[in-house]
Structure formats: C-alpha cells, structure tokens
Chain A
Amino acid sequence: MIWAKDQSYSGWGRALRAKGDIASPDTVENLRNEGPAIGNRRSYGDAPLNSGGKAIDMTKLDRIISFDRETGLLTVQAGITLGELTRVFAPQGWMPAVVPGTGFATVGGAIAMDVHGKNHHHAGSFCQHVTAITLIQDKPRKITPKTGALWLATCGGLGQTGLIAQATLQLVRTRGDMMLVTEQRARDWDEHLSLLDTSRAPYTVGWIDATATGEDLGRGIVEEGETCKGLRPTARGTKKVPFNAPHWALSSPIVKLFNATYYRRVPKTGRTVVRTVQDFFFPLDKIHDWNKLYGKRGFHQFQCVVPLDQSEALRTIMQTIATSGLASPLAVLKRMGEGREGYLSFPMEGYTLAVDFPNRPAARALIKRLEAATLNAGGRLYLAKDALSTGPAIKSMYPDHSKWARAVAKADPEGQLQTDMTRRLDLRTPQQ
C-alpha cells in the first residue's frame, strides 16, 4: 500500500483530531491489516482515528460485486456508501433494510457501528440484515452469522476484528423511490412519547426542540414515513458550508428562534407531504460539510438509549439539556426496538435521545452529567457518537464487553487495529 505521510484528519464532530499516515488503496490485492480501516469518518468522536499510527481509507474500494434481482442479495466492497446504494437501487425497487441518518456512511462503517435507522422498531439494526462479511486478517476470511463469537465481535465491533473489506446485504423491496411523510406536532414530552409509542408507520422519528422548557419541554415534530411510488419532485441541488462559522452562529437566542420557527412550520393539525427517499433518510446530506457550522472547535453529539421503563429519567435528562441553553437545533427522539446483532451493538428496547452541542467547556461538563444519568437509568451511550466518556462507564453499559474483548484479542493479537477510541476507553482489555 502507498502511504500519504502525516495526514491530519478528524471524525465528523471535529473536536478530536489525529495525525498519521493514510493509505487509500483502490484494489483489494494490496490490502493488509497494517492499521484500522476508516470510511467517510461520519462517527463523531475518535472511533475512526489512529493518532501517530496508520489508517486505511476504504472509500475507494466501493464496487458492487453482485446483485441478485430475484432475491435482493447484494455483495459490495465495504467502501461503498449507503446513500449510493439507496440512489442506485431504490429506482430498481430495492433498498438497504436499514439506513442511518447520513447517506455518507459506508457499508464497512455501518457494520462496525451496527447502525440503526428510523425503522429500528420494526427492522432492527443494520447487521441483522448482513449475511456475510469478508474480513482481512493476516489472510482474508469470510464470516457469517453462524461463525459465532467472531461474528458477534465484528458486528458493531469498531472494526477491531479485521479490515471489513466486503459484505453481503439482504436488501428489502420498496414500493418506489418516494416517501409519503406525515408530520404532527407533539406539544410536550408526554405527547411526544405517546405519539412515538402508538405509531404504526414503518419509519418513525421525532425531532425535539431541545431548547423548549416548562410546559413546552419535549415538544417537537413526529415524522412518520412509508415508501410509495409517485412523481419525483424537482431535485434540489446540494449546498456547501464553505468556511467555519463564527461561534455565535449557534448561540442560544438564535437556536431558540430557529427551533420555534421550525416547530411552527408544521400546522397544528399536522400535514402529509411527498419527499424523495434521499430527502427523507438523509435530510442533512444536501448541506455538505454542515459540521463546519459549529466553527473550528467542532462539536459533540450526546446520544443515549434508556430502557422503556426509564422514560422519567430521560425526561430529567431532557430537562437538564433544555435548561442549560447549550443545545443546537439538531435533536432527535426515537423509540427503539430490541434489535441488535453484536456484543457492542448500541440498541436496546427503549427511547434514544440524540442532541448536538458545540465543543465548549460548559457543554463538555453537561455531557458528563448526562452520561452519569444515563448509566443510572441502566442505559448506554452510542460509541459512534462518543468522544468524552470513560472506560469504566462504557464497560458497565455494555455487559458483553468482555466477550468482545476476548474475541478481538484472538482476531487481532498484535493490536494493529487499535484506534484512539479503543485506547481512550481501554476497550481492548477484558474486565477481570
């Protein structure tokens, strides 16, 4: 592999950075497990970073290897993005069974994080629809759900068992490449949860106004979608955030004003609109580099999930966030099902809340408090988002951590695939 020396790079949150050598191979022949694989670095924290070491950018390995139009079984190289798969296959009547909130995530990254989407309550997590993975260890090795521990340590396993080079996905049939979307206002926390609880739609997600306090706490918009066939609305072009925004761009009064307007955009009685699949699943992808809105210092996303019976604890978490005045407009509430595949998969049946914060000392302190509250509620943090937690906290949130660590020790005995995240959280050491 050819290495570009001393490249500076970061995750999506840009608060944590790394400097190291990066290879961008375009053929699998030369692929060696000399460092961790990275994709489009849509994880927020340090999961895709290896400071002072090597990393292998997989995004040029993005071929479709085969597609069976009868069964929907698709084999791809891991560097292809889920947005690309959606764009190519939705018009042919097929979709990835699970897509996360950004289409820039690669298949390899989606496996390493066992990502979830707006249909998690029905469809489960991404890896539950993966039927085979080719790992590059010292030699290439194909694994399937029958492989056992190595499979469970690979799905949601932070890329520590080998380079994820290729995968076979079971696509699902779609009625068309359009979405019929119903939006309703949720006036407060209780109404928000009850709308999520009673939703029958295949895709359901709540946008939450993380600045609303008092009676309005937890207000937001619940969005329900199903695929449909129809006329394509005119495609809107992409926009780009060309430079780092000043620090006041997402200050409290501006966010409050934005959120109030955004909330009132949907009429009291709700509305139904038709959107493209891309617009529905990847709403922010049209604004390239939107992470620059947070300025040079970057930002953090706090995402937790708590069990169903801990909704009061989550309300308290929401209250803490709302009264802090630190939240940004991007905040999401969703009910999750049980579906998860691997030892370190994030999902659990319950409610998940995700909120962005600019990278400032006050926000970092707040996130620490939110983490403690999550742990108390028997919930967990999402490693695709985390940049601030500690090893002991994460290990107690993930009861299967030791099983994962033992399988990983076997799969990567030299520790060549370690990342800044696995070192920060001391993840590779099993608990005693």
Chain B
Amino acid sequence: MTDTNTNQTWIILGASSTIAKAFTRSVAEKGAHVILAGRRMDDLKATADDAKARGASDATTVIFDARVPDTFQTIIDLANTQAGTLNCAVFVGSMPAQDAIDADPTLVDGTIADSFTGPARFLQMLAPSLIERGQGSIVGVGSVAGDRGRVGNYVYGAAKAGFATYLSGLRNALGRHGVHVLTVKPGPVDTAMTQGLGKQPFMTTADAVVQDIDKALQKKRNTLYTKWIWWPVMTIIKLIPEPIFKKMSI
C-alpha cells in the first residue's frame, strides 16, 4: 500500500466473513474505497454503511458467488473504472464438516470452488488490470489446514493447499510487475465459522489477524502465519514422516 490511502480501492471477496469485516474496517478508516463482494446483499449493505461512517471514501456492494463465475466480470469492470491503486483481498471459503462430506461427496465440488477454483479464476481475470497499473496488493487467505492433509478436514485442507500453491505462482508472476501477493494462513479464529466450538488451541480474533495482515502488507511479506506460533507448529507437523503421520489424528 502507498500513503495516499484515499486513492486506494480494495475489492473484498467474501465480504460477509468475520475477518473480511474487520479488514474492511481497517482499510475504510484509512479512507480507501471498498468494493464489497459477496452473496448476502443485506449484510453487505450494512457493512458498507459501517465503512462509510468510519471514513471510507466510498463503499459499493456487488454480488459475488465463488461457484458462479458469471458474477465475476461485473466486479472486474467496476474495479477497472476506479482511478488509483487497485487491490484485492480474498476471504471466501467454506468448511463443511468432514463427516458431512463423507456422507455426501458432492459437497467436495462446492468446497473446492469456494476456497480455490472460484477465487483463482477471479484473480486470473483481475491480474491483467493490476499488471497494467504496475502496483497494488493481493491478500489471499488460506489456512494452516492447507499445510498437511489431516483426517479431520482434508477436503477443506486440499482446497486451501491448492489456493496457497496458486498464490505462490501468482506472486512469482505479478511480483515482477510491481504487484505484491500476500498469502495468509490463519489458525483457528473466533469467527462465525468457529461459533459454538468454544476455545480452540492458540485461538485468535479477527481484529488481531487484520493487524497482522496490515503489518505484513507494509513489510511486503510473502506468507503470514497468524498467530505466529502456527509457523513453528506447522513446520514440525510438515516434518512428521508420512508412515507415522498416517496413523495420527491431530
């Protein structure tokens, strides 16, 4: 991000998620224009009002469904009409319980579309505009669950792993054009997704995740684990040899 924040436009995909809302506030308070994209229009409008009261130079709402690529072009067209720096933050994703997927394997397609193929196709469509402007940032939210396939949620994990690999390639491709790509890997966050689960190990809040994202953007970090403790934890988990790991249920 550059200093002239009123010249910043942020496309926020999955803007109804708890972390997206916290992120929207953070950029709104710096005066950015936010384009809130998601499925629940009422909720997006309420977030837009909140953003404007906090100082966003403007807040627009637009329908986005990761499973319906026809919704993508309208958002790209809208973004292209904005002057200044264009940025995109991706918070879409869904996490059906693994046993629900076991019972109904068709859920695999939606899970992968929400967390991986939908956002990947969108970013692929957006990339030329960013390259043309020669600046801007992309924030892609993956998950520590993508670092290793675990018995408890490996379809969700696989989708997030795919997205993380995609972001890594996108960073490679766009970095040479002045566009920064940040991969965020949160552990459990106290959000709508984790409601009712009670306290989880190293649980953090959406606001804390957003503060970390903010710092990582300023420092142009590539990958961010939040809380930071997940970096050593996942490093160790990744090192466990497969013959042993396959017998574990962590």
Binding site for B on A (CB under 8 A): 2-5, 7, 23-24, 26-27, 60, 63-67, 74, 88, 91-92
Residues B47 and A60 in contact, CB atoms below 8 Å apart: no
Is B197's CB within 8 Å of the partner chain A? yes
Question: B226: shortest Cβ distance to chain A, in Å?
Answer: 17
Residues A88 and B47 in contact, CB atoms below 8 Å apart: no
Smallest CB-CB separation from B51: which chain A residue? A64
Residues of chain A within 8 A (CB-CB) of B191 are: 26
Residues B49 and A64 in contact, CB atoms below 8 Å apart: yes
Residues A4 and B196 in contact, CB atoms below 8 Å apart: yes
Is B46's CB within 8 Å of the partner chain A? yes
Residues of chain B within 8 A (CB-CB) of A65 are: 46, 49-50
For the complex of A and B, the 4 pairs showing the least CB-CB separation, nearest first, are A2-B196, A64-B53, A67-B53, A4-B198
Residues A2 and B29 in contact, CB atoms below 8 Å apart: no
Residues of chain A within 8 A (CB-CB) of B197 are: 4
Name the contact of A63 in the complex, choosing from B50, B190, B196, B199 (C-beta under 8 A).
Answer: B50
Question: B36: shortest Cβ distance to chain A, in Å?
Answer: 13
Is B77's CB within 8 Å of the partner chain A? no
Residues of chain A within 8 A (CB-CB) of B199 are: 7
Residues A63 and B198 in contact, CB atoms below 8 Å apart: no
Smallest CB-CB separation from A4: which chain B residue? B198
Is B55's CB within 8 Å of the partner chain A? yes
Q: Which of B127-173 contact A (CB under 8 A)?
A: none
Residues B29 and A63 in contact, CB atoms below 8 Å apart: no
Q: Which of B17-69 contact A (CB under 8 A)?
A: 18, 29, 43, 46-47, 49-50, 53-55
Residues of chain B within 8 A (CB-CB) of A67 are: 53
Residues A88 and B198 in contact, CB atoms below 8 Å apart: no
Interface size class of B (residues with CB under 8 A): 10 to 19
Name the contact of A3 in the complex, choosing from B49, B54, B190, B196 (C-beta under 8 A).
Answer: B196
Binding site for A on B (CB under 8 A): 18, 29, 43, 46-47, 49-50, 53-55, 190-192, 195-199
Residues B54 and A64 in contact, CB atoms below 8 Å apart: yes
Residues of chain A within 8 A (CB-CB) of B196 are: 2-4, 23
Smallest CB-CB separation from A69: which chain B residue? B53
Residues of chain B within 8 A (CB-CB) of A24 are: 190, 195
Residues of chain A within 8 A (CB-CB) of B18 are: 26, 60
Question: A279: shortest Cβ distance to chain B, in Å?
Answer: 19
Report Cα–Cα, A7/B199, bound state, in Å: 9
13 residue pairs of the A-B complex, CB under 8 angstroms, read A2-B196, A4-B196, A4-B197, A7-B199, A26-B191, A26-B192, A63-B46, A63-B47, A64-B49, A64-B53, A67-B53, A88-B54, A91-B55
Report Cα–Cα, A145/B47, bound state, in Å: 29
Of listed A23, A64, A91, residue having the most chain B CB within 10 A: A64
Residues A88 and B50 in contact, CB atoms below 8 Å apart: no
Q: Apart from A7-B198, A88-B53, A88-B55, list 10 A-B contacts with CB within 8 A.
A: A3-B196, A4-B196, A5-B198, A7-B199, A24-B190, A26-B191, A26-B195, A63-B47, A64-B50, A88-B29
Report Cα–Cα, A131/B49, bound state, in Å: 20
Residues of chain B within 8 A (CB-CB) of A7 are: 198-199
Report Cα–Cα, A26/B29, bound state, in Å: 21
Name the contact of B49 in the complex, choosing from A2, A27, A60, A66 (C-beta under 8 A).
Answer: A66
Name the contact of A66 in the complex, choosing from B47, B53, B54, B55 (C-beta under 8 A).
Answer: B53
Residues of chain B within 8 A (CB-CB) of A5 are: 198
Residues of chain B within 8 A (CB-CB) of A60 are: 18
Question: B146: shortest Cβ distance to chain A, in Å?
Answer: 24
Residues of chain B within 8 A (CB-CB) of A74 are: 53
Smallest CB-CB separation from A27: which chain B residue? B43
Question: A285: shortest Cβ distance to chain B, in Å?
Answer: 14
Report Cα–Cα, A67/B55, bound state, in Å: 11
Residues of chain A within 8 A (CB-CB) of B50 are: 63-65
Residues of chain B within 8 A (CB-CB) of A92 are: 55
Report Cα–Cα, A343/B33, bound state, in Å: 45
Residues of chain A within 8 A (CB-CB) of B29 are: 88
Report Cα–Cα, A91/B29, bound state, in Å: 10
Of listed B43, B47, B191, B196, residue having the most chain A CB within 10 A: B196
Residues of chain A within 8 A (CB-CB) of B195 are: 2, 4, 23-24, 26
Report Cα–Cα, A4/B196, bound state, in Å: 4
Residues of chain A within 8 A (CB-CB) of B192 are: 26
